[in-house]
C-alpha cells in the first residue's frame, strides 16, 4: 500500500502500462532499459508512488522480470495484445475487484523516463476545474492520451468498446466523454533542448538522448 496524501487527490491507483513490444528498440521491455543508470520503470515508480494509494504494472508474459520492484504485475484481461486500451481496462477491472474504495486510475506508458512528479494531482485538478469525466496530459501542442485519469466506473463501457466494438485508438473511446487536457510546459533544463516531460523512449536514438539528458541533469 502506498502513502498518498488523501487531502491532495481522491484515492487513486497508478498503473504503468508496460505491455509494448518495443519493436523499434529491437524487442524486449522498454520499461527495463537503463536511463541514467536506472531503469525507466524505477524512475516511473519514484514519480508515481508518493501520489497514489496503490501501484501496479500491466505487462504480459513472465512477470518475474519485474519482481525486484515488489509490485503486482497484471496481464491484459483481453487476448491478442489489443493495445493500450486493454491495459487501461485491465487496471480498471483489477482495482475494482481488489479495492473498490479506489475509484480513480492514472495510467502512464512504460517508456517515459521524465514523467512530471505533479502528474496525478494536476490531472485531478484539471478534471474538477473543467467538470470533465476524464483527464489527460498535453505538451508541445500534443495530447498524450495514454497519460490519463480514468474513473473506474466506466470499465463496462470500455470493455464493450474494446472487446465488442473493436476500438483500439484511445481517443476514439475518450471522444465519447468530456476530457480535460492539462498542459505541461517543457522543462528548460538545457537551453538547446527543452525537455518534454512526456518524452518517450521508442528508438535507440531516443534511448541515447534520454541517457545523455539524465547524465547532464540528474534532477530529471
**75: its cell numbers:** 496481464
Residues 37 and 27: their CA atoms lie apart, in Å, by: 20
94-131 burial, b for 16+ CB within 10 Å, e for fewer?
bbbeeeeebbbbbbbbbbbbbbbeebbebbbbbbeeee
**16: its cell numbers:** 504503468
Residues 1 and 185: their CA atoms lie apart, in Å, by: 31
pLDDT value, residue 30:
87
Interval 113-123 mean pLDDT: 94
Q: At what angle do helices 119-129 and 40-48 cross, to 10 degrees?
A: 50
In CATH terms, is domain 12-216 a member of 3.10.180.10?
no
pLDDT value, residue 5:
47
Is the pLDDT score of 156 beyond 90? yes
Residues 160 and 19: their CA atoms lie apart, in Å, by: 21
The confidence band for 188, taking pLDDT boundaries of 50, 70 and 90, is low
Is the pLDDT score of 132 beyond 80? yes
Residues 125 and 110: their CA atoms lie apart, in Å, by: 24
- Can you say how many angstroms the Cα of residue 118 is from the centroid of all Cα atoms in its chain? 13
Strands 142-151 and 134-139: what pairing? Answer: antiparallel
Ordered by start, the domain boundaries in the chain are 12-216
Q: Chain-wide mean pLDDT for the chain?
A: 89
pLDDT tens-place string over residues 191-218:
544 578 999 998 989 999 999 888 877 7
74 secondary structure, DSSP code:
E
109 secondary structure, DSSP code:
E
Interval 103-130 mean pLDDT: 96
The confidence band for 131, taking pLDDT boundaries of 50, 70 and 90, is very high
pLDDT tens-place string over residues 89-113:
999 999 999 999 999 999 999 999 9
Q: Are 15 and 107 in contact (CB under 8 A)?
A: yes
The confidence band for 72, taking pLDDT boundaries of 50, 70 and 90, is very high
3-state secondary structure labels for all residues of 119-142: HHHHHHHHHHHCCCCEEEEEECCE
Interval 149-166 mean pLDDT: 97
The confidence band for 140, taking pLDDT boundaries of 50, 70 and 90, is confident
pLDDT value, residue 194:
56
Is the pLDDT score of 47 beyond 80? yes
pLDDT value, residue 21:
54
Amino acid at each position: 500500500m502506498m502513502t498518498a496524501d488523501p487531502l491532495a487527490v481522491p484515492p487513486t491507483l497508478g498503473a504503468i502500462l508496460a505491455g509494448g513490444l518495443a519493436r523499434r528498440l529491437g524487442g524486449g521491455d522498454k520499461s527495463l532499459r537503463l536511463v541514467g543508470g536506472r531503469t525507466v520503470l524505477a524512475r516511473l515508480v519514484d514519480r508515481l508512488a508518493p501520489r497514489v494509494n496503490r501501484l501496479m504494472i500491466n505487462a504480459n508474459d513472465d512477470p518475474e522480470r519485474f519482481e525486484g520492484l515488489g509490485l503486482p504485475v497484471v496481464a491484459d484481461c483481453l487476448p491478442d495484445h489489443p493495445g493500450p486500451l486493454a491495459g487501461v481496462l485491465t487496471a480498471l477491472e483489477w482495482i475494482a475487484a481488489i479495492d473498490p474504495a479506489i475509484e480513480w486510475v492514472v495510467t502512464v506508458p512504460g517508456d517515459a523516463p521524465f514523467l512530471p512528479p505533479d502528474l496525478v494531482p494536476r490531472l485531478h485538478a484539471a478534471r474538477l476545474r473543467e467538470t470533465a469525466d476524464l483527464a489527460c496530459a498535453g505538451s508541445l501542442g500534443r495530447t498524450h492520451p495514454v497519460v490519463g485519469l480514468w474513473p473506474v466506473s466506466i470499465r463496462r463501457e470500455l470493455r464493450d468498446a474494446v472487446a465488442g466494438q473493436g476500438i483500439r485508438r484511445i481517443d476514439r473511446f475518450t471522444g465519447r466523454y468530456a476530457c480535460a487536457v492539462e498542459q505541461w510546459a517543457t522543462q528548460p533544463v538545457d537551453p538547446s533542448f527543452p525537455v518534454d516531460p512526456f518524452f518517450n523512449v521508442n528508438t535507440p536514438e531516443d534511448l541515447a538522448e534520454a541517457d545523455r539528458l539524465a547524465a547532464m541533469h540528474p534532477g530529471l
